[in-house]
Amino acid sequence: MADDNTPTDCSLLVVVVDTNPNQRYIIEDPKVLTNCLDAVIAFSNSHLMQKAKNQLAVIGCHFHKSEYLYPSPGKPLDVRQIDGQYELFTLVEKTIKMRLVNLIKSQPQEDKPGESLLAGALAMALCYISRVRRQLSPGLTMSSRILIVTGSSDTAAQYINYMNVFFTAQKQQVLIDVCSLDKHLSLLQQGCDITGGLYLKVPSLEGLLQYLLWVFLPEASERSKLVLPGGGRVDYRAACFCHREPLSIGYVCSLCLSVAVVTRSHEESTRDHGYCFVAETSSTVFKIGGPLATKPKKKKMKI
């Protein structure tokens, strides 16, 4: 459970791997994806090794869709034991690699890769987690968490999907951990903060496996005893619905609370299009007022 420190009998980890070919590090050197994937596989197997009943799922997030890389739906692959390697590890590795190849092959050739739609993969992960919880044998306790490994940047276009996913994870006490391979991800960092997970931007890709093992392998119940990278300050500014930029002063529609207008520079244009972008009353032209009437009416506020 996210906010108490009692150890659980087992733990479920869902790893979301961003496989989008337009991540900067893949464009620079496509082979790096294989290295990252190997690190994720090694990390996943370490998770399975921690406790006998630990469970794992891996979701690949490509630009055209997201898919489970492990477990495979239906019959598991037939793997023979190789050089004394634990069969399950071979199965995990083989399944992930085979299904990733299929996922990449299914990408539409004519479309240019867009942004990675991680919110969809997170929603899948939450469905999976609630199913595993339902099927848990009675008396067994299980903690659940999601780890996102991505080199994409986050844009406010997925803002609502992200927030819905974060609040669901918070309600269901699922931790969201984020390992960023490239840029600072302020939206995903909010998700970590809301759900109590960890956020880390790795300084270099070479040491990825070490970072994963040191920072993200310990379960929630063990983390309080370790010195882990601090969350840092989280930027909770709202994003404007029209320009999707974070702002510190904005106008909010009093019916639906959409942040309709944002920065000072937009103010004039907002006066012109002074209507709510969202509410069904969008035909109503709003008067732009100050804050809700305060008791002592001081000088008329300059907005």
Which of 211, 250, 265, 269 touches other proteins by CB under 8 A? Answer: 250
Stretch that binds other proteins, among 26-34, 35-43, 80-88, 163-171 (CB under 8 A): 163-171
Tokens at residue 196, please?
């109590």
Which of 240, 250, 259, 286 touches Zn ion by CB under 5 A? Answer: 240
| Angle, alpha carbons 203-151-101 (nearest 5°) | 130
- Residue placing its CB nearer to other proteins in the complex, 11 or 190: 190
Residue 280, Cβ density class (10 Å: 0-12 exposed, 13-18 middle, ≥19 buried): exposed
- Residue placing its CB nearer to other proteins in the complex, 47 or 62: 62
- Residue placing its CB nearer to Zn ion in the complex, 83 or 268: 268
* Nearest Cα residue to 179 out of 42, 36, 20: 36
To 10 degrees, what angle do helices 31-50 and 87-105 make? Answer: 140
Q: Are 121 and 64 in contact (CB under 8 A)?
A: no
Q: Does 236 bind other proteins (CB under 8 A)?
A: yes
To 10 degrees, what angle do helices 118-134 and 159-171 make? Answer: 20
Q: Which 95-154 residues touch other proteins, going by CB under 8 A?
A: 111, 114, 117, 119-121, 123-124, 126-128, 130-131, 134
Residue 83, Cβ density class (10 Å: 0-12 exposed, 13-18 middle, ≥19 buried): exposed
Q: Does 3 bind other proteins (CB under 8 A)?
A: yes
Q: Does 86 bind other proteins (CB under 8 A)?
A: no
Q: Does 242 bind Zn ion (CB under 5 A)?
A: yes
Which of 26, 41, 63, 94 touches other proteins by CB under 8 A? Answer: 63
* Nearest Cα residue to 150 out of 214, 215, 228, 60: 60
Q: Are 88 and 48 in contact (CB under 8 A)?
A: yes
Which of 255, 288, 301, 303 touches Zn ion by CB under 5 A? Answer: 255
Q: Are 155 and 244 in contact (CB under 8 A)?
A: yes
> Which among Zn ion, other proteins, none contacts residue 240 (Cβ within 5 to 8 A by kind)?
Zn ion
- Residue placing its CB nearer to other proteins in the complex, 7 or 289: 289
Q: Does 278 bind other proteins (CB under 8 A)?
A: yes
Sign of CA dihedral 27, 113, 43, 92: negative
Residue 137's CB is within 10 A of a number of other CB atoms, namely 8
**Tokens 């969202």 -> residue:** 278
CB of 136 to Zn ion, least distance (A): 16
Q: Does 46 bind other proteins (CB under 8 A)?
A: no
Q: Does 256 bind Zn ion (CB under 5 A)?
A: yes
Q: Which 259-278 residues touch Zn ion, going by CB under 5 A?
A: 262, 266, 276, 278
- Residue placing its CB nearer to Zn ion in the complex, 32 or 238: 238
CB of 174 to other proteins, least distance (A): 12
Q: What is the CA radius of gyration of the chain?
A: 22
Residue 138 carries which DSSP code?
T
CB of 120 to other proteins, least distance (A): 3
CB of 205 to Zn ion, least distance (A): 34
Single-letter residue type at 148:
I
Q: Does 287 bind other proteins (CB under 8 A)?
A: yes
- Residue placing its CB nearer to Zn ion in the complex, 211 or 241: 241
Tokens at residue 8, please?
């659980």
Q: Residues interacting with Zn ion, by CB under 5 A?
A: 240, 242-243, 253, 255-256, 258, 262, 266, 276, 278-279
